Copies of this chain bind each other. A is one copy, B any other.
């Protein structure tokens, strides 16, 4: 294939490749390699350790679905915590909802935020909003001693290797449960049902021991392995499938109808998380 290509090994035996028009940025931080590439067909792309995190082409699907589903389930989500998500896309979507008075972003790697501010304003624009507070800290450390402090917590992590490993473990989820108010909702990205079904089952089983209601929902993000992606939602009180509160209905991916349909899972996945 002539030309310059970026390739991600999505599995040992599976790769996705796209054309690189320009390498805008590349650096190694204490945590990871950060790259910003201008690509076809994905436009601007953020890659961490050569794994695609987000692209301007399809980030709307991921960020709308990770943020608007929990915010539209909670009747009045005033205090939001986003763990990971240093690109700012999830914060941007939270700010489109009328309820939040405070959105805290906890990102372990300050350089992800700085690089996103510089090269990806489409994603990071909301980070200068006065309602946003940014803490550069490990998510598990940040949560120490927090009790009933948030209405919605969103774990917008990288894959469960490297710096995000602890964000897929039971002690972290129990910290989150304590940090959530009595009507609180937790959402985490939980990878592909085609390629990571064991991880999804493990997270689901763990959360079932922590939250009264646990449900999985899905969205399609073409630049992620297999396209189909899962989000796991734990709720202390509210039914995740119902849409209530001051709903944000307008999105390129999200709608109240999409919200409800997203909880209807392919039979093989539904059968795995009964």
Contact = CB atoms under 8 A, between A and B. Distances in A.
A39 to B, nearest CB: 8
Contact of A17 (B17, B61, B264): B17
Given A13-B40, A195-B41, A222-B194, A253 B227 contact: no
A274 interface: no
Contacts of A225: 222
A219 to B, nearest CB: 8
A33 interface: no
Contacts of A251: 267
Contact of A260 (B13, B264, B268, B270): B264
Interface residues of A, number: 44
A161 interface: no
A79 B178 CA distance: 59
A17 B18 contact: no
Contacts of A16: 14-17
A116 to B, nearest CB: 23
B14 A266 contact: no
Contact of A227 (B227, B257, B264): B227
Nearest to A193: B220
Given A16-B16, A41-B13, A220-B220, A253 B226 contact: no
B264 A252 contact: no
A243 to B, nearest CB: 13
Interface string A239-274: 000000000001111110110110011111010000
Contact of A254 (B39, B227, B267): B267
Interface in A1-23: 1, 5, 7, 9, 11-19
Contacts of A14: 16-19, 40-41
Smallest CB-CB A-B distances: 6 pairs: A227-B227, A13-B40, A222-B226, A261-B264, A13-B19, A261-B261
30 contacts: A1-B9, A1-B15, A11-B41, A12-B19, A13-B41, A14-B16, A14-B17, A14-B18, A14-B40, A15-B18, A17-B17, A41-B195, A58-B194, A61-B266, A220-B227, A220-B266, A222-B225, A222-B226, A222-B228, A226-B227, A228-B228, A250-B267, A252-B267, A253-B267, A255-B270, A257-B264, A258-B266, A258-B267, A260-B264, A261-B264
Given A15-B16, A15-B18, A251-B267, 19 more contacts: A13-B18, A13-B19, A13-B39, A13-B40, A13-B41, A14-B16, A14-B17, A14-B41, A16-B16, A61-B266, A220-B226, A222-B227, A250-B267, A253-B266, A253-B267, A253-B268, A255-B267, A260-B261, A261-B264
